[in-house]
């Protein structure tokens, strides 16, 4: 996304989804993929699949938080264990590099959250290049992760999508007082 400094509007172009968007995060920086809502106009509401590994796990919490603030989209959260018709979506947001998106026709936004593959028998750079071949674009949670991914020779469009914490999903609880 590129942000207009005067209006705080941004033009988003990821695969088939394009339009004028309004930034939800006030502190959004250039080259940062923000949670946005698209403008009303002739563009139909984009259908987005947030494809997670398991319900109740970390990616599910992230997806729920993103869905909560991306109100201008028709978002569905589905597990990798389900049989999914990917053709019904305008964009697939695959949480984690391990989701196989080879046969998906829609643009694929693939999130990379770490590079410490638990099972590997070859260099992580080679593995990451292979795992991102099927992505249209990549999201990373930090600029240091982007730098590391770029060091592997991956030149796909890459956007920072900070994870954050939804305090309604994870409210603060003071620590117990010691007795």
Q: Which residue has the higher pLDDT, 171 or 169?
A: 171
CB–CB of 115/148 below 8 Å?
yes
d(Cα 12, Cα 19) in Å, to the nearest integer? 6
Q: Does the pLDDT value for residue 100 go beyond 80?
A: yes
Report the distance separating Cα 28 and Cα 48, nearest Å.
21
Residue 7 has what pLDDT? 53
Q: Hey, which residues does 109 pair with through a beta bridge?
A: 93, 137
Report phi then psi at 14, rounded to 5: -130, 105
Return d(Cα 62, Cα 59) in angstroms, integer: 5
Output the pLDDT for position 68: 83
pLDDT tens digits along 101-149: 999 988 999 999 888 765 567 788 888 999 999 999 999 988 999 999 9
Please check whether residue 64 is in contact with residue 36, taking contact to mean a CB–CB distance below 8 angstroms: no
């Amino acid at each position: 996304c590129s942000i207009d400094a005067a209006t705080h509007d941004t033009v988003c172009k990821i695969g088939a989804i394009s339009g004028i968007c309004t930034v939800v995060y006030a502190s959004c920086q250039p080259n940062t993929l923000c949670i946005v809502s698209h403008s009303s106009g002739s563009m139909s509401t984009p259908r987005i699949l947030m494809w997670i590994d398991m319900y109740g796990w970390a990616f599910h919490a992230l997806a729920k938080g993103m869905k909560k603030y991306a109100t201008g989209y028709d978002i569905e959260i589905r597990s990798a264990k389900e049989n999914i018709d990917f053709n019904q979506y305008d964009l697939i947001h695959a949480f984690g590099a391990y989701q196989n998106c080879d046969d998906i026709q829609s643009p694929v936004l693939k999130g990379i959250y770490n590079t410490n593959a638990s099972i590997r028998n070859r260099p992580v750079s080679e593995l990451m290049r292979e795992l991102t071949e099927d992505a249209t674009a990549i999201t990373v949670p930090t600029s240091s992760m982007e730098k590391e991914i770029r060091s592997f020779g991956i030149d796909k469009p890459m956007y920072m999508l900070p994870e954050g914490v939804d305090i309604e999903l994870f409210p603060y609880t003071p620590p117990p007082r010691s007795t």
